Amino acid sequence: MSQREYPLSPIVGVGAVVLLGNSVLLVRRAQAPLAGEWSLPGGAVELGETLEDAIVREVAEETGLTVAPTQVLKALDHIERDLDGRIRFHYVLVDFLCGVDPGDGVGAEAVLHAATDVSEARWAPVEGLRGSKEFPLRQRTLDVIDAGWSEAQKSGLIERFRR
């Protein structure tokens, strides 16, 4: 059992809504929680690490991309209980809107390398994600992606993410 299972206190984690053109970066989790599910890249904050440093590190570890976080989108809890009602996982997650560093390629050439605790990393079109059979996502994940897409369009960041 990992230190993340049945924790004594919540674990702080970060997630990234990474936009590039009309696509968002998704990863398929290889480990619990969410093993086998598509989600946003991210993970636990390490001791002494800022939230921004954590999201840059996590995205790089999981996908090989260098990102620039632009703003916090949402903070939320992920709590999973076992069959006995004990808390198996408890994360406090802070999701960031991020763009890809220009040095990582342009458009579809932003090459992904799934690593660490993900089995796959892919660009998925934002439009049509709700109800997608290829990328089934949890409601909360869809809501955060929508918030990031909306904020990027409203703030003009979407043009910067198009490259």
Q: pLDDT for 32-89, tens place per residue?
A: 777 789 999 999 999 999 999 999 999 999 999 999 999 999 999 989 999 999 999 9
What is the torsion angle, in degrees rounded to the nearest 10, for the CA atoms of residue 32, residue 40, residue 127 and residue 136?
A: 0
Bridge partners (DSSP) of residue 91 are 11, 78
- Please give the share of the chain, as a percent, with pLDDT higher than 70: 90
5 assigned to some structural domain: no
In a domain, 54, yes or no: yes
Is there a domain that residue 6 lies in? no
**Domain assignment of residue 59, yes or no:** yes
* Sequence-separated (6 or more) residues with CB below 8 Å from residue 130: 142
According to DSSP, residue 25 is labeled E
Range of the domain at 84: 11-162
Q: What is the CATH number of the domain that holds 142?
A: 3.90.79.10
Within a domain: 92: yes
Question: pLDDT-derived band of residue 2, with 50, 70 and 90 as boundaries?
Answer: low
Q: Considering the entire predicted model, what is its pTM?
A: 0.87
What is the torsion angle, in degrees rounded to the nearest 10, for the CA atoms of residue 92, residue 96, residue 100 and residue 38? Answer: 50
Domain count, the chain: 1
Does residue 155 fall inside a structural domain?
Answer: yes
Q: Where in the sequence numbering do the catalytic residues fall? A: 120
